A and B are shown apart, each in its own frame.
Chain A
Amino acid sequence: MAFGATLASILSTGLAMGAIYALIGITYNVMYSTSRVMSFTAGQLGMLGGVLGALFTLRLGMPLLVGFALTLLCCAVVGMVTEFVAVRPVLASLDQHLYVLSTLALALIIQQVTAIEWSTEPQAFPRLFGIGSGALDEKFWLPVVACAMTMGALEWMQRKTLVGRAFLAVAEDNFAARALGLPERNLRIASYALAGAIGGIAGYAGGELMLAFFANGAFLNFYGFVPVALGGLGNNRGAIVGGVALGIFQQAANFLVGGIFASVAVFVVFIVVLLAVPQGLFGTSTARRV
């Protein structure tokens, strides 16, 4: 295979996986912004996007648009359930980090139920548009387009809509936002629903590449967290840069060193970056009042 083709493969797969990681990173961020909780259900929402997409469209034979809308709706509901079941009960003791246990437990439940009810083997995901082939196949560019559109929509919402500004207000200082009369609890539920939908988009757009597989949840939880740490907690643009960098570096490492050594290479770089810039590449360290 010529160098050009190898480069095309690194870029196509790397960008696609990077976009999926970035969307999961944004899922983490959106949930974090209103609750200060790192919910480890983010990857499972991505997994559900793929599984539900295959369920509605392939198994139940629904039209693409209906299947897509239902997938996002279901993922939004799972996001809201996360807020009710795993986040709200432990918000009072946020400093004890109980949310790690509660969100991980819920993530495990989602994964096991999917394994039992869906399948323990990867299942086919429908070919959505049938456009492109080789390095320009839709399975590579769909996640990139989905990521760009999601980011654009989020930016628009935060800048142009009242709800978006309210989200920002709660993310900045939820006590002050509540004092000003903003419905903090409802906004938190809405942000979890939004995060669920974004996770669903990640899984649906990446379904052709990752297939409808219950184990994708743990995989995405893990690799989706890296862009958050690299890009800075709560920083969506940072998550995109971190995600894309991770995807391309990972695929390049697959070519250069291969197999399990590629994962080792990825995490060596990850640790080195965090040692050099603990707050992430685009994060800002906040001053602490004393």
Chain B
Amino acid sequence: MTISRRTFTVGSAGTLGLAAHGLLKPAFAQSEPVKIGWLAALTGPSSAPAVGFNRGVMYAVESINAAGGVKGRKIELTTRDTQGDPTKAVNATQEMISAAKVHAIWGPTNSGEALATTPLMARAKMPNLHPCVVDSLIDTGKFPNAFRMAPSNTQWDDAVRNYALKILKAKKVAVIGDTTGYGTAAAKASVEACKKDGAEVVYTAQIDATQPDMTPDMLRMKNAGAEAIISWSTSTGMAARLFNARAGLNWDVPFVGHPSLGSGEVGTLIEKPANWEKVYTINYRSCSFDADGKLPARTQEFLDKSAGKIDLKDTLLWWVVSGVDVINLLAKAVETTGSTDSEGIIKYLNGLNKYPGLFGSYTWTPTEHNGYPTDEIVMGLANSSKSGALKLAPGY
């Protein structure tokens, strides 16, 4: 057969066209692993959440790979310990995008790091799921690739305020934060929202978390007539000292606020167990024991299945199950779209409507990337932790 110049030109153009549409991708592309980057602050300050997430992530990866992978493709995890440091997180992100060439990134887990990495991932159009609460991290205009799979700070604030004002029926509240950027910003937003809802904010302060005695602040709140204290701090030491000072004043005002109020470490720092009563902390329906002491069926089923494989003694259940959800979600995206193409994964996530995860039912659209439903955020009894889950606070 002779090949004319015209035949050669037409043939070449057709081949190039097919290649551009991905139909002639080499066979190894369909058998290469699904590469997921995991930016985890596994050591250093604020490492507790990532340690919990990591247990869920490892469990899910091992389970999927043991079952044959995603359409025969194994999941390959590239984990980098960012130590909560934005610079390290940026370097790890660059490495994942340029060198490891991952197909999606989970994390980082701290808002400070995410503020630095999110624009980078947006430029690379890298599908990114993260659990960071700072509101500005989700912006479908600037970061169409970023999806939040935990509540935003506004959602937390709504849940806390609603509990204090509507269920505890407090009319006068004290709002406190620590002196960190997060504590200051969260307390300020909380004060404004409380006032908008008609509550009287009788006391507000930024408290130095290292202050050894919290009696002065507690006394001022008591004298101001606070009926509930809303606390925005990640410091477990500050929480324990506040509870001890409350007991010293023989005051039984309820505390409502940040999940750190229910951290197991608080239990080791309080002077007596009774000091931890009447403390209500942010929790989730999926990780809450009801009045009969039962977890939701989906969560219980997971716990039964994973019994002995995941250590839940020193972590929170919601961290673990959201780690599992992320891996399952990305695996599902690859399975459904049949590809690890970033556009395909983003399109898949944008179309999810009440995806039944273990942690919650996620819904994302092209214009809304806050995927966690507010009505699944509840308050839990801070001192009731068992297997990382809490009892529902009274009133639900």
Q: Are B268 and A124 in touch, CB under 8 angstroms?
A: yes
Q: Are B236 and A122 in touch, CB under 8 angstroms?
A: yes
Which residues of A lie under 8 Å from residue B216 when comparing CB positions?
Answer: 9, 251, 254-255, 258, 262
Q: Are A210 and B219 in touch, CB under 8 angstroms?
A: no
Q: Does B303 contact A (CB under 8 A)?
A: no
Task: Closest A residue to B204 by CB, please name it.
Answer: A259
Task: Closest A residue to B45 by CB, please name it.
Answer: A120
Which residues of B lie under 8 Å from residue A13 when comparing CB positions?
Answer: 212-213, 215
Decide: A215 near B215, CB < 8 A? Known: A1-B249, A258-B220, A259-B205: no
Q: Are A115 and B44 in touch, CB under 8 angstroms?
A: yes
CB distance from B242 to the nearest CB of A (A): 13
Interface residues of B in 199-239 (CB under 8 A from A): 205-208, 210-213, 215-217, 219-220, 222, 235-237
A1 to B212, CA, bound (A): 19
Q: How large is the interface on B (under 10, 10 to 19, 20 to 34, 35 or more residues)?
A: 20 to 34
Q: Does B43 contact A (CB under 8 A)?
A: yes
A121 to B46, CA, bound (A): 9
Task: Closest A residue to B240 by CB, please name it.
Answer: A122
Q: Does B122 contact A (CB under 8 A)?
A: no
Which residues of A lie under 8 Å from residue B263 when comparing CB positions?
Answer: 121
Among A9, A116, A123, A254, point to the contact of B211 (Cβ < 8 A): A254
Q: Does B47 contact A (CB under 8 A)?
A: yes
Among A123, A134, A213, A255, point to the contact of B210 (Cβ < 8 A): A213
Q: Does A17 contact B (CB under 8 A)?
A: yes
Q: Does A22 contact B (CB under 8 A)?
A: no
Q: Does B269 contact A (CB under 8 A)?
A: yes
Q: Are B43 and A116 in touch, CB under 8 angstroms?
A: yes
Decide: A122 near B44, CB < 8 A? Known: A255-B216, A255-B219, A260-B206: no
A124 to B271, CA, bound (A): 10
Among A123, A210, A260, point to the contact of B268 (Cβ < 8 A): A123
Q: Is the interface of A mostly helix, strand, loop or mixed?
A: helix
Q: Are B208 and A260 in touch, CB under 8 angstroms?
A: yes
Q: Are B217 and A219 in touch, CB under 8 angstroms?
A: no
Q: Are B45 and A263 in touch, CB under 8 angstroms?
A: no
CB distance from A9 to the nearest CB of B (A): 5
Task: Closest A residue to B248 by CB, please name it.
Answer: A134
Q: Does A190 contact B (CB under 8 A)?
A: no
Q: Are B236 and A260 in touch, CB under 8 angstroms?
A: no
Among A120, A211, A216, point to the contact of B47 (Cβ < 8 A): A120
Interface residues of A in 2-18 (CB under 8 A from B): 6, 9, 13, 17
Q: Does B342 contact A (CB under 8 A)?
A: no
Contact with A along B311-334 (1 / 0, CB 8 A): 000000000000000000000000
CB distance from B176 to the nearest CB of A (A): 9
Q: Are B212 and A210 in touch, CB under 8 angstroms?
A: yes
Contact with B along A238-281 (1 / 0, CB 8 A): 00000000000001001100111011000000000000000000
Q: Does B153 contact A (CB under 8 A)?
A: no
Interface residues of A in 82-120 (CB under 8 A from B): 115-116, 120
Decide: A263 near B208, CB < 8 A? Known: A121-B236, A255-B216: yes
A40 to B62, CA, bound (A): 48
Q: Does A209 contact B (CB under 8 A)?
A: yes
Q: Are A215 and B210 in touch, CB under 8 angstroms?
A: yes
Decide: A211 near B213, CB < 8 A? Known: A115-B45, A120-B45, A120-B47: no
Contacts A/B (CB < 8 Å), 9 sampled: A1-B219, A121-B265, A122-B236, A123-B269, A213-B210, A213-B237, A254-B216, A259-B205, A260-B179
Residues of A within 8 A of B (CB): 1, 6, 9, 13, 17, 115-116, 120-124, 134, 209-211, 213, 215-216, 219, 251, 254-255, 258-260, 262-263
